Amino acid sequence: MFTGLIEETGTVISLKEAGEGKILEVRGSKVLAGTKRGDSISINGACQTVTDMTADTFSVFVSRVTLSITTLGEFKPGRVVNLERALTLSSRLGGHIVQGHVDFTGNVKKISKDSQGVEIDIAVPEKDTKFIVEKGSIAVDGISLTVVSTDKEGFRLYLIPETLLNTNIGSWKTGDRVNLETDILARYVERIIRFGRIEQENDNAANDESLLKKLAENGYI
């Protein structure tokens, strides 16, 4: 589990084929402190397990499933990525609860700079906008951010200089794909409502069948 507060940006060293997945090597510094093989590090919002380490790099195995859902398979040497170590029991939860499980990707639609910060529009498939709410939290490339507004095409963010300084947002360009993880609470609520509707429909069908049976037994149909 993570907070979405990026500890540092790292640099992709290599991405190599490895069976049905790929081995990703990243250079970092802060996230290596106290880290050992088997620990989890979020790379642009995707929770990955450290499989190897050197003094200033670490490697992870990116599975076929992760490659299909996230942008990690597009990484090239030199790419700047957001890094965060997994949350510990003694850590302060300053962002929001981030699992490191990317739900889907979006595309940077528009970037507008002003004297205070940067306004960014992210486009997402219309079917996924139901999980994104105004003033709600969302993790974009692993960064805990607050949604400014939403519409059927996506959502808008406003980034302050502090966020720009400590993340890879400065390298984003129009058209770039970004990893998105919606608030886990929204996912649970959606599932509860969906299954509640199914159960209600099943109950209604059972009641209708019972009524028809009673009518037939008493000679009405």
Evaluate whether 40 touches 47 at the Cβ level (below 8 Å): yes
CATH topology of domain 8-85: Elongation Factor Tu (Ef-tu); domain 3 (2.40.30)
Q: Would you call 179 helix, strand, or coil by DSSP?
A: strand
CA angle centred on 142, ends 17 and 171, rounded to 5°: 80
- For residue 95, pLDDT over 50 is answered with yes
Evaluate whether 2 touches 86 at the Cβ level (below 8 Å): yes
Residue type, 103: D
pLDDT score recorded for residue 220: 46
User: Domains of the chain: which residue ranges?
Assistant: 8-85, 104-183, 184-221
Q: Which of 134, 136, 63, 135 is nearest to 102 (CA)?
A: 63
User: Does the fold of domain 104-183 match that of domain 8-85?
Assistant: yes
pLDDT score recorded for residue 216: 62
pLDDT score recorded for residue 67: 97
pTM as predicted: 0.84
Q: Which CATH class is domain 104-183?
A: mainly beta
Paired with 166 in beta bridges are none
- For residue 31, pLDDT over 70 is answered with yes
Which residues are within 8 A (CB) of 10 and not within 5 positions of it... i.e. 6 or more apart?
Answer: 26, 27, 28, 31, 43, 80, 81, 83
Q: Which of 101, 85, 92, 103 is nearest to 42 (CA)?
A: 85
Q: Which helix (H) or strand (E) holds 166?
A: helix 161-166
Q: Which of 104-118, 158-172, 185-199 has the lowest mean pLDDT?
A: 185-199
